[in-house]
Structure 1
Amino acid sequence: MASDDELPEIPVVCPECDTRTSVAFDEVERAVERHNEQLHDGEAVAEVDPEVLEALTDRLGKDLGLF
């Protein structure tokens, strides 16, 4: 079981490359940017899995009392 200070890995998908990978939470932004720069001329193709992003957004909103 992960300790409280360990952050989860976040799934990143690229529909154009037909790939899915998990990236350390603190590396997600750089990994997505690097993938898009190297493989898609900077176009925002790869992204955090939209379903996971929605779930994280909902949870954060609830934790902050916004919902």
Structure 2
Amino acid sequence: MGDEPTVPVRCEECGTETRVPLTDVADAIERHNTNRHDGEQVAGVDEAVREHIADLAANDLGLTD
């Protein structure tokens, strides 16, 4: 992982949470959901983190001015 930022990925159905490097988040979620839940979208990034990232993106795009 090194210095790369990590993101918490949670699966409430499995009762698991892990931190994944930001660049690997989409692949890790897809792999978990495919292997454990027959492709159903169960695991994902914590909602609070998703909202924070969306807020940061909106600020960067000037949508909050």
The verdict on a shared fold, with TM-score over 0.5 as the criterion, is: yes
Q: Which runs of 5+ in 1 are unaligned?
A: none
Flag as ranges the 4+ runs of structure 1 deviating above 3 A: none
- CA deviations 1:6-48 (Å, max 9, x no partner) are 5410110001001111100110000000000000000000001
TM-score normalized with structure 1 length: 0.87
Q: Which letter maps to 1:45? A: V
Q: Give the alignment partner of residue 31 of structure 1, picking from 7, 28, 36.
A: 28
Task: Kindly tell me the number of residue pairs found equivalent between the two proteins.
Answer: 63
Q: Distance in 1 between matches of 2:17 and 2:8?
A: 7
Determine the structure 2 residue equivalent to 1:17: 14
Aligned residues with identical type, % of pairs: 48
3-state SS of 1:44 partner: coil
RMSD: 1.4
3-state SS of 2:62 partner: coil
TM-score normalized with structure 2 length: 0.90
3-state SS of 2:13 partner: coil
Q: Which runs of 5+ in 2 are unaligned?
A: none
